Amino acid sequence: MSSRTEVSVAEPRTVDEAKHAVERSRQRISSTLDALEDRIVEKKHALQDRVAVLRPVREQVTQRPFAAVAIALGVGALLGSLGGGEDEEARSTGGRHEARHAQLSERDRAELRAWRRLRRERLRARRDERDHAAGDSRLASLRHQLTGAITSAIGAAVTARVKEMTRGGRQR
């Protein structure tokens, strides 16, 4: 792809050699950065092309939201009916979960229940350790609530700004 310049392993002995080594390093770094910038620009254009393909769909969804929901519901129902993957016995017993357990022996079921119980206990212990490490649980809860509220406010502000920008773009 690119030719590599010879890199001397020995340390420079004179100031001029050091300057030349630094200049060679700068050139290598510059060419690497140029190549990276070119790749980033290519990726950016490819992404913009993909977004441009989806723009008409997005406009149709914006203009006809109920039709878009109806189409999505229909496609979901179609896909659900095509690839259910359950046999008749599994459907009659209420799903895959019960059909799988019907194939397990009583000993295997007991072992599975014991494993699940141990797993729940380990997860509880881990959560308790995390809560203890976080300090006072009330303070941690308050911090989480404030973080959630701030995140929601920022999200609402960004959404409002994007809607405002799209409305401004349509009026042009």
**Angstrom distance (rounded) from CA 13 to CA 18:** 7
Predicted TM-score (pTM) of this structure: 0.29
What is the pLDDT, as a whole number, of residue 41?
92
Q: Can you tell me the distance from the alpha carbon of 149 to that of 156, in angstroms, rounded to the nearest whole number?
A: 10
Greatest pairwise CA separation for the chain in angstroms = 86
Output the CA–CA distances (angstroms, integers) from residue 141 to 127, 145, 149, in the order listed.
14, 6, 12
pLDDT in tens, the chain (172 residues): 444 445 545 788 889 888 998 999 999 999 999 999 999 999 998 888 887 877 888 888 889 888 888 888 888 888 877 865 555 555 555 555 555 556 788 888 888 889 999 999 988 888 877 767 655 666 767 777 888 888 888 888 888 888 887 776 555 4
Is residue 68 within 8 A of residue 61, CB to CB? The reply is yes
Q: What is the pLDDT of residue 146?
A: 82
The pLDDT value given to residue 39: 92
